[in-house]
């Protein structure tokens, strides 16, 4: 999926086209991993606001989160939970919460093409990604747990990341939110960390609430 030094991710189809996301160059050397793990130990969710907060958002449906996660009320129109140490950035391809070592991320963005379904968006994404080194579509199926939309579909794939120097595994969910907007929530990380990506995404999806 990495097509060049500046490109870290090819996103799901947005507005009918494929978009590239990058850091504007190779990221700095990675730091020791500080990524939050999807722990089975439950704790009380902290409704801490990120710097991106924009007013009070509706409460998420899941309020009891694993330790190491926090709720963010993002100014781009949604609330969800992300690992507590991951930091926010914003680009044309959406909002990103990225691990301190730059080896994991959550990407959230709105699918603006009204003619495309969530499943079709994922199918197009997989087709667009197929030319990347070692690309493998592992599954594309309806979401296997209660999520933020009844039409939620999930794409799982892997590829060889030149940027990170490891094989990565990605889980990407597209859905129609309760306010009628379509979103995608994607989690990327080294394949060796799987199923951490699934855990992080499940927490994000089960706390996802759209807002103005």
For residue range 33-47, what is the model confidence (pLDDT) as tens digits?
Answer: 223 333 323 333 433
User: What count of other Cβ atoms lies within 10 Å of the Cβ of residue 167?
Assistant: 15
Per the domain annotation, does 145 fall within a domain? Answer: yes
- What does pTM read for this prediction? 0.74
Task: Write the DSSP string, the chain.
Answer: ---STT--EEPSPBTTB--EE--SSPPPPPPSP-PPP--S-EEEPP-PPPTTB-SPPPPPS--EEETTEEEEEETTTEEEEEETT-EEEEETTEEEEE-TTSS-EEEEEEE--TT--HHHHHHHHHHHHTTSTT-EEEEEEE-SS--S-TT-EEEEEEEEETTTTEEEEEEEEEEE-TTS-EEEEEEEEEGGGTTHHHHHHHHHHHT-EE--
pLDDT in tens, 63-121: 688 899 999 999 999 999 999 999 999 999 999 999 999 999 999 999 999 899 999 99
- Please give the structure tokens belonging to residue 144: 């296997």
Per the domain annotation, does 32 fall within a domain? Answer: no
CATH at 186:
3.40.1000.10
Per the domain annotation, does 37 fall within a domain? Answer: no
pLDDT in tens, 156-172: 999 999 989 999 999 99
Per the domain annotation, does 70 fall within a domain? Answer: yes
Per the domain annotation, does 18 fall within a domain? Answer: yes
* Domains contained in the chain, number: 1
Per the domain annotation, does 33 fall within a domain? Answer: no
Per the domain annotation, does 115 fall within a domain? Answer: yes
Per the domain annotation, does 120 fall within a domain? Answer: yes
Containing domain of residue 160, as a range?
A: 9-22+45-210
């Amino acid at each position: 999926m990495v097509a060049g030094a500046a490109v870290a991710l090819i996103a799901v189809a947005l507005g009918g086209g494929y978009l590239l996301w990058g850091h504007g160059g190779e990221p700095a050397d990675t730091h020791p991993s500080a990524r939050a793990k999807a722990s089975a130990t439950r704790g009380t969710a902290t409704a801490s606001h990120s710097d991106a907060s924009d007013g009070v958002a509706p409460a998420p449906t899941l309020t009891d989160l694993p330790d190491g996660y926090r709720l963010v009320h993002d100014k781009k129109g949604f609330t969800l939970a992300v690992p507590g140490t991951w930091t926010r950035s914003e680009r044309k391809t959406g909002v990103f919460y990225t691990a301190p070592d730059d080896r994991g991320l959550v990407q959230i963005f709105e699918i603006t093409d009204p003619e495309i379904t969530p499943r079709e968006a994922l199918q197009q994404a997989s087709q667009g990604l197929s030319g990347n080194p070692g690309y493998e579509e592992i599954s594309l199926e309806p979401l296997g747990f209660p999520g933020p939309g009844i039409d939620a579909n999930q794409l799982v794939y892997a590829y060889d990341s030149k940027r990170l120097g490891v094989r990565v595994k990605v889980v990407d969910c597209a859905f129609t939110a309760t306010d009628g907007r379509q979103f995608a929530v994607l989690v990327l990380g080294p394949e060796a960390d799987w199923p951490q990506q699934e855990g992080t995404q499940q927490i994000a999806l089960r706390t996802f609430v759209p807002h103005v």
